[in-house]
Amino acid sequence: MRITEINIVDFDHKDFRSALGCFGTGVTVITTRDQDNRHYGVTVSSFNSVSLDPPLILWSQGREAPSHKAFKENAHFVVNVLSANQTEVSNQFARPSDNKFEGLTCTFTENGVAILPEILGHFECVTENMFDGGDHIIFLAKVINYKHHPDTDPLFFWRGKYITP
């Protein structure tokens, strides 16, 4: 469909979402905490690399997400890259809950942000800029620390389904 042919009234959001879903991604859970040390985590597939020097990444979050305020107010967050056996962890962080971290023994960065267990790798980040992205906000962030496990298989998401190698 050519975008110029779309009548804004008839625009089919469900179909557009399906079309975007043909681009497969990895799956991450992005974590932060607030001033009262309450922990937040959201399943995110919009994570992507931006720059090697300086080391920059981006991700985007829906403006209406319950955890959005925490990510706007605390520049420190961690991108946890999920491994192939973590579909349940992905589902756990993809719906609102009072205790998203239930059953997970986390470690913490110097800034007190949670790092999930059994992940493929993580990037500890500091937000440098936030940009308007329609119904989302785009976070551009500097990576200040990272770790990865080269021998672990990743979890993928494609056309609304989890794919494991």
Ligand X SMILES: Cc1cc2nc3c(=O)[nH]c(=O)nc-3n(C[C@H](O)[C@H](O)[C@H](O)COP(=O)(O)O)c2cc1C
User: Under the rule (CB under 6 A), what is the footprint of ligand X?
Assistant: 27, 42-46, 60-62, 65-67, 90, 94-96, 157
Cβ proximity to ligand X: between 103 and 150 the closer is 103
- Distance between CA atoms of residues 94 and 80, nearest Å: 14
CA 110, 78, 70: angle at the middle one, nearest 5?
95
Find residue 56's DSSP bridge partners: 51, 142
Cβ proximity to ligand X: between 70 and 143 the closer is 70
Cβ proximity to ligand X: between 1 and 69 the closer is 69
- Distance between CA atoms of residues 53 and 142, nearest Å: 10
Shortest Å, Cβ 45 to ligand X: 4
Shortest Å, Cβ 9 to ligand X: 26
Shortest Å, Cβ 57 to ligand X: 13
Residue at 50: amino acid letter = V
